[in-house]
Amino acid sequence: MHSRLTQIIGVHSNTTIFGNIAIIAIGDFYQCSPVASSSIYSSLLWCDHFEYVELKINERQKTNFLFSQMLNRIRKLKKKEDMKKEDHDVLEQCHQNYLKKEYHLEALHVFPKNAQVDSHNEVMIEKCCTDIRSFYEVDANQKQVQHNISKQPKTNNKPLRLAKNARVMITKNISVNDGLANGVTGRIIDFVEDNNKEVSRIIIKFDSNTVGRIHRINCQSCQGKDSVCVTRESDTSDQQESDFRSRKSTKQFPLRLSWAMTIHKAQGITVDQVVVSTKDMFGTGMGYTALSRVRTLEGLFLIDLHSDKFYCNEKIDGVISQMKQMKKKENILKQSHESINILFHNIEGLKFNFNVFTNHYITQKADLICLTQTWIKDNDDKETFNMNGYKLIHKSGLSSFIGGHTVNSENRGGIAIYFRETLSIKEIQSDKILNFGQITFEIENFNITIILCYRSSEQSKIDFLTNLTNSIQEIGIDKRIFLIGNFNENTLTKKSKPIEKQLNLLGFINIFKNSTTTNNLTSIDCIYSNRISNQNQYHNVVQTFYSFHDILTLTINSQDNISSNNINNESMIENKMETQNSVHRSLENVPIPKRNRKRKLNSRQTHDKNYHKAKLSKNNFDNIKSLKEKQLQFLRNIDILTEKSTIKNFPTSYNLIQQLAIIGLVKISILGDGNCFFRAISHQLHRDETQHAHIRNIAINYLKEDKYRFTPFIDEQDKSIEDYIARMSQTSTYADHLVISATAIVLNKNIIVHQLAKIPILIPGSDYIEHQLHVSYNRSILHYESVFSLDGNSAIISAENLILT
């Protein structure tokens, strides 16, 4: 699924999982395990990326509490564990009820094996039906393929025996959207013959009236009826591709008698009565699956009772205990009559992404939708882009510029707004000639003016700023203004940012200044405002799978306390700069690097006179004696190094994000499940967290090989080095200084640990100072995260700015 979705969506990245499509998987690990394939939880894709929510209400048996409790005990019964006597007695009574034949003649029978299913179905068709017909496969010429003349001995050409009133089941996915899916059951009510007196269609009334609703609209023969007709198909079951190729020249009705079915096939269905055979059950979870198909205990009948066949997969408890539990997240948008929810997205083609965008869970929650790079031209039919409940205003890229402008032939621009029909919007037309893509409008009930704009990379920043400034001055800087758009200027870079600088001088602040808004961790999509709410704002970045850009959301409250206008308020800007300067002055005694190396240097550059490779000692891969000595020295002196790293007079108002930003670094969020250190190291090496288990394993193996050397460094939590290794080997065990040091050695990398109000500490793992992996550590929550340069490259800090062993 991961490979297929990645291929379909066209996103190719080591960090992209399932093509950035959200997957919701619903099921019960305690039921039947897959036939001839491994369980889903054996995949790292499952272990590393899925979180779970436990459903508390048993809908099927909620009216029969005692039955539900018994089923749950059997659900977790282990193989060598005896079934409770009261449960065994209840099941024995179900067997006695079967012997008394208290069930309906056509009650569903479930068996472990297909041969048993076929045998019961043959008995039932003879008992319940007359005028039984046999249907052989037909070839391309509509001739029957008899069993004894088949050229494909491995193909099952056994005739399909059917009759009116027969219970049948579809054996392939004909139309999943219409409910005509593999496993759906019903009853044959008629056969339709062609001019040659051959049956061309079989009429079935399915157990659910919702099955085949679309078919009944499109099929003239079924219109106005409660039945569906089924025709011959080239493949009658969902099989492997090789088997399909061998059968594609023949056709058969995709049906099977269904008075009985296998336990595996019965998963997911609910019936009033079920008759179960337990004798030949052969796998984990089969007993529980079979018993739990009915709503009440009175509907359960056992042909036989073999209690030793009821047992679960004992690995499941461990699997679930290691899974991450999903936490309820706060609402992305604030729902209130006094607020307006704004959504901004650089959509990169509204025509191509219209369906996925309008079906995105966040879209319909927005009152105002602002889009850039719609790529819609003036001659495109705008009616095809209407959204129910919204009005549309669009401006193409071509119409945004006067003739002769350098980007007047822009065909990848285009901006648009959707606003709810209940929202009062007044578009503002400029008296000036503005050469940039913009739609300016006022939300009258909120006294807010919004300029939605887009700067193409072909338009100079000076030209864009000139036109934007003219537009702001025309509106009046005293009004509450929001500038929304893609300015194609990365606010996270340390390079010159003339657009941000000019807007700051005008009193505008970028609400998403420190947020990454694209797949390559840049921030070029923004929302500026000259009046910022004094309350906590609802603003978020929401990921998308179809665009390079993420969605920005912002909730504005009409009752917000708004700070005074920043325009011409030079003292405020100066105060802000003074605050920043004071922070830098307070950190003047801190050896934080002025510049980081943002990428690895090639062999030629390493000999450049401007680059001095600082070696800690001579490194020999075959002989790491000196490196091991540095490791021991680090472990002996860790308390001293930690105390030495403390920054004196560190501003209490500063956080770790700001501390890292001063030296051009940013931390990347890592999942907190006890594996966070190894996940952070995996992210440093591979740009994803999936290799955390492997990294933990090789570090543990290193400790095992030389375990007695580390005995002096274990604390009172473990009685011996063996106990320490056993504990640290377990998934979700928090890493400590000992295993972190081992990780540095086996990876041949120096691990740099950043903490708030501390100089970064180097944990030795390589003789070369530039061989670095960077992580941050939050002591209060025992959590590690990955650290990179602001431009997304690996971080490197010089030796003089580190605490060394």
pLDDT above 70 (res 462): yes
Q: How far apart, in whole angstroms, are the C-alpha atoms of residue 472 and residue 192?
A: 73
Q: Per residue in 624-655, is it b (16+ CB within 10 Å) or e — as a string? A: beebeebbeebbeebeebeeebebeebeeebe
What percent of the chain is predicted at pLDDT more than 70? 84
CA-to-CA distance for 159 and 249, rounded, in angstroms?
Answer: 17
- pLDDT at residue 616, as a whole number: 33
Mean pLDDT of the chain: 84
Q: Are 665 and 754 in contact (CB under 8 A)?
A: yes
Q: What is residue 632's predicted lDDT score, i.e. its pLDDT?
A: 87
CATH 3.90.70.80 residue ranges of the chain are 605-801
Q: What local confidence, expressed as pLDDT, does residue 14 receive?
A: 67
Please state, in angstroms and rounded to a whole number, the distance separating the CA atoms of residues 697 and 702. Answer: 9
**Higher pLDDT residue, 617 or 51?**
51
Q: Is the pLDDT of residue 608 over 50?
A: no
**What confidence score (pLDDT) does residue 537 get?**
60
The SS3 call for residue 717 is coil
Q: What is the mean pLDDT of residues 134-156?
A: 68
Would you state the pLDDT for residue 154? 44
Which long-range contacts link 327-333 to residues 24+ away (Cβ below 8 Å)? 327/51, 331/538, 332/362, 332/365, 332/538, 332/540, 332/542, 332/553, 333/362, 333/365, 333/366, 333/538, 333/540, 333/553, 333/555
Write the pLDDT tens digit of every residue in 615-654: 333 333 344 566 778 888 899 899 899 999 999 888 887 8
| pLDDT single digits (tens) 506-523 | 889 999 988 999 988 899
Tell me the C-alpha distance between 272 and 63, whole Å.
13
pLDDT of residue 595: 38
Q: Which of 326-330, 491-495, 627-631, 751-755 shows the lowest mean pLDDT across its residues?
A: 326-330
Q: What is the pLDDT of residue 404?
A: 54
**Tokens coding 599:** 């990428």
Residues 600, 749: Cα–Cα separation, whole Å: 14
User: What pLDDT does 237 receive?
Assistant: 59
| pLDDT at residue 248 in the model | 53
Residue 124 has pLDDT above 70, yes or no: yes
What 3-state class would DSSP assign to 315? coil
What is the pLDDT averaged over residues 771-798?
91
Average pLDDT over residues 165-175: 94
Instruction: Report the C-alpha gap between 303 and 107 in whole angstroms.
Output: 13
Q: Is residue 425 predicted with pLDDT exceeding 60?
A: yes
The answer on pLDDT for 56 being more than 50 is yes
Average pLDDT estimate for 167-183: 93
- What is the SS3 assignment for 712? helix
Instruction: Give the 3-state secondary structure of 240-261.
Output: CHHHHHHHCCCEECCEEECCEE
Q: Letter for the amino acid at 635?
A: L
Q: What residues form DSSP beta bridges with 228?
A: 204
The mean-pLDDT minimum among 320-334, 538-552, 569-583 falls in 569-583
pLDDT in tens, 694-720: 999 999 999 998 888 888 888 878 889
The pLDDT-based confidence of 62 (bands split at 50, 70, 90) is: confident
Question: What is the band of 386 on the pLDDT scale with cuts at 50, 70, 90?
Answer: very high
- The whole-number pLDDT of residue 13 equals 66
Beta strand ranges found along 390-535 (DSSP E) = 390-395, 415-420, 425-427, 437-443, 448-454, 481-486, 509-510, 525-529
- Tell me what pLDDT residue 338 has: 78
Beta strands in 208-299 (DSSP E): 228-230, 255-257, 260-262, 274-276
- How does residue 236 score in pLDDT terms, banded at 50, 70 and 90? low
Domain topology for 605-801:
Cathepsin B; Chain A (3.90.70)
Angle between helices 692-705 and 676-686 (to 10 degrees): 110
Helix (H) or strand (E) holding 789: strand 783-789
Q: Does residue 4 carry a pLDDT above 60?
A: yes
pLDDT at residue number 533: 59
* Helix count and strand count (H, E) for the chain: 21, 32
Q: pTM, whole model, 2 decimals?
A: 0.52
Is the pLDDT higher at 629 or at 749? 749
Mean pLDDT of 237-247: 47
In terms of Cβ atoms closer than 10 Å to its own Cβ (0-12, 13-18, 19+), residue 564 is exposed
Residue 191, amino acid: F
Asked if the model's pLDDT at residue 572 lies above 70, the reply is no
Would you state the pLDDT for residue 36? 63
* Listed range (239-253, 370-384, 753-767) with the worst mean pLDDT: 239-253
Judging by beta carbons within 10 Å of its beta carbon (0-12, 13-18, 19+), is residue 51 exposed, middle or buried? exposed
- The residue with tokens 């690995």 is 315
- Secondary structure string (H, E, C) spanning 620-654: ECCECHHHHHHHHHHHHCHHHHHHHCECCCCCCCC
Helix (H) / strand (E) element for 660: namely: helix 656-662
Q: What pLDDT shows up at residue 156?
A: 55
Per-residue pLDDT, 589: 40
Virtual torsion, Cα 706, 709, 715, 718, nearest 10 deg: 40
Per DSSP bridges, beta strands 300-302 and 339-346 are unpaired
Q: Which ranges in the chain are annotated with CATH 3.60.10.10? A: 343-568
pLDDT tens column, 107-121: 999 999 999 999 999
Average pLDDT over residues 376-385: 88
Given 3.40.50.1000, 3.60.10.10, 3.40.50.1820, 3.40.50.720, which CATH number is that of 343-568?
3.60.10.10
User: Could you tell me how many residues make up the chain?
Assistant: 805
Task: Evaluate if residue 798 carries a pLDDT over 50.
Answer: yes
